[in-house]
Chains A and B, each alone.
Chain A
Amino acid sequence: MNNPIKVLLVDDEEEFVTTLAERLEMREFEPRIATSGDQAISMVEGEKFDLIVLDLMMPGIGGLEVMKQIKSANPDMPVILLTGQGSTKEGMAGMHQGAFDFLMKPLDIEELISQIHEALGKQSS
């Protein structure tokens, strides 16, 4: 049996992120949760993740800055951004800065899973 994919989910909306984690766990993923940018950065320093799902707009350090800091130490870490904005502008800006892709909220979990597999497949190829 393959090792489960270890995903760090980062979003300040705690109910959203805990429920998403439960749903991913039911689909054989190994999710971890961070509810702030600071927490995410410190978790990545202490633990190894296969991929990060990161909200763009959070209190304190925003998603793009979190991604920049994480990628400075882990340049190959795939990051999928989440955005609650109505336009794709912020998501596109994130892709220019190294995100694999971005998804709009509310989320389609099957689309997220497909993106995760695609990001990890691209990384290993």
Chain B
Amino acid sequence: MNPETEKTLAFFGRMTANLTHEFKNILAIIQESAGLMEDIMAISPLAKDKYQERFNNSMNTIKNQLQRGMELATRFNRFAHTPDHSRAELELAETMVHFCTLTERFARLKHISLQAGNQQGQEIKITTNPLLLYMVLFYSLDACLSVLPAQCEIRLIPVQKDENVAVEIACSGKQAPSAEDFFTSLRQSSIWADLENAAEQLNAELKCNTDDLRFYLILK
């Protein structure tokens, strides 16, 4: 297997493991809520009134978790289809929301907030390789998570930069390192090398703003 295929499979593996773990959490909540309802039903009819509110709460929890599961399954399915076409038209703001929903758990495990921003509030469309774009975004996120401490925030913002379309990766937080330390650590991490390679394959350019904790993925 060539190294590029290995990297792609590793990326898919991490995304799949992450999302199936989230599905198991959802199923665990549904299982306990349904179990609690079953427990209440098994109590004598006289005690049921006492638990009516809890019974209704469990019903609502199940509905909410089903909604959460459906949303995740839909997005996961869409992600699974990213290799279908080597080029496709994507709307960047929507793509950032999609990517952040799929990867939010990686950030959550480090107590870091991940947000999709849409500063300019406009539709920005690009024709690109969807799978490679997701890989580049993933490496960008992974690199930031490897150097940022807890309670920081990462925002992915689509921007029109000069003639080009770009994604701004903006990090912030009270405990965040200085821009110099941030970029030194980023560039020393092995993930950064993966990011540079994947960006090159995508024909995208990485541009660091060394005044603060921001870098750009310029899509061509």
On A, residues with C-beta under 8 Å from B are: 13, 15-16, 19-20, 22-23, 26, 57-60, 84-86, 105-107, 109
Contact = CB atoms under 8 A, between A and B. Distances in A.
Interface in B5-23: 17, 20-21
Contacts of A105: 24-25, 27-28
Contact of B24 (A15, A22, A58, A106): A106
Contacts of A85: 17, 21
A106 B35 CA distance: 11
B39 interface: yes
B31 A107 contact: yes
Contacts of A16: 25, 28-29, 32
Contacts of B108: 59
B150 A60 contact: yes
A23 B108 CA distance: 28
Contacts of A109: 32, 35
Contacts, number: 61
B175 to A, nearest CB: 14
Contact of B27 (A19, A60, A106): A106
Interface string B155-189: 00000000000000000000000000000000000
A106 B30 CA distance: 9
A23 B54 CA distance: 11
Contacts of B30: 106
Contact of B32 (A19, A58, A84): A19
Contact of B28 (A13, A26, A58, A86): A13
A84 B35 contact: no
B64 to A, nearest CB: 8
A88 to B, nearest CB: 14
B48 to A, nearest CB: 13
B109 interface: yes
Given A106-B27, A106-B30, 9 more contacts: A13-B25, A15-B61, A19-B36, A19-B61, A60-B111, A85-B21, A105-B27, A106-B24, A109-B35
Interface string B30-53: 111101100100000000000000
A112 B111 CA distance: 29
A59 B58 contact: no
B110 interface: yes
A59 B110 contact: yes
Contacts of A19: 29, 32-33, 35-36, 58, 61
A84 B36 contact: no
Contacts of B20: 86
Interface in B82-109: 108-109
